Amino acid sequence: MPDWISHLLFGLIICHLLSIQKKSLVLLGALLPDLIGKLKMLNYLFPGSPEWIIPISNFWHTPLPSFISVLLIALFFSYPYLNSVFLIWLGDVSHFLSDGTTKSFLWQGYLPLLWADQYYFAIIFFAITYTLLRIFDLRIIRDEHQLTPN
C-alpha cells in the first residue's frame, strides 16, 4: 500500500489530466478506502481493541463496499449528486489502482512493482509526473466544463 502523499498526488494527476475543477472530491475518494480501512491500526496503538475492527477495516478496503460508501458520502455535498459520485469514485478507483502495485509474499497486485516499505519511490514518481504535467500543461480533457456542471 502506498502512503497517503502518493494517493493524493495520483489524485491530483487525474484531476490535472481531466481538467477537474473540484479536486478535493477526487482527493477525498483517493483516501476514502484507507479512512476506515486503517482502523485496524488502532489495534497497534490500543492493545485489546475489539476483534471486529479487522474485518470491518478489510471490508471497507474493498472496491464494492467502497463504491457504495461513495454513494452515501456524496449525499452530504450540496453539489450535483451524480457529479459528486463520479468525482469521489474516480479518486476511489485511483486508490485501488495504486494499491495494486504493492508487492507481497502472500499475493501479487495487478502490477507488483513496490514493497510496502518502498513508498518513497511512488512519492518521487508521482511528484515528478505531476510537476511535468503542470509545466508542460499536458491534459487529456482541456475543457473544464466537460466534467463539471454549468
Partner 1 sequence: MKKEKDNQKRNKTIILAKLGFGIFILILLSAMFVSYYNSYQEKTTLQSILKNPEKYDGVYYQTSGRISRTTDSFVYILDTEANMEIPVLYAGHYFKPGNNAVFYGQMTKDGYMIAAKSRLQNSEPFKYLISLIAGVIFLFLFFKEWKLSWNGFQERERDF
Which residues bind to partner 1, rule: CB under 8 A?
3-5, 7-8, 21-24, 27-28, 31, 34, 40-41, 43-44, 47-49, 51-52, 54-56, 58-59, 64-65, 68-69, 71-72, 75-79, 104-106, 115-117, 119-120, 123
Q: How far is the CB of 30 from partner 1 (least distance, A)?
A: 9
Q: How far is the CB of 111 from partner 1 (least distance, A)?
A: 19
Note whether 13 and 91 are within 8 A (CB).
Answer: no
CB nearer partner 1, residue 41 or residue 141: 41
Q: How far is the CB of 48 from partner 1 (least distance, A)?
A: 8
CB nearer partner 1, residue 5 or residue 133: 5
CB nearer partner 1, residue 23 or residue 100: 23
CB nearer partner 1, residue 76 or residue 136: 76
Q: How far is the CB of 136 from partner 1 (least distance, A)?
A: 20
Cβ neighbours for 127, distance < 8 A, ≥ 6 positions apart: 9
Q: What's the grid cell of residue 146?
A: 466537460
Give how far Cα 27 sits from Cα of 15, 40, 89, 90, Å: 9, 22, 10, 9
Note whether 84 and 77 are within 8 A (CB).
Answer: yes
Full 3-state SS string of 13-48: HHHHHCCCCCHHHHHHHHHHHHHHHCHHHHHHHCCC
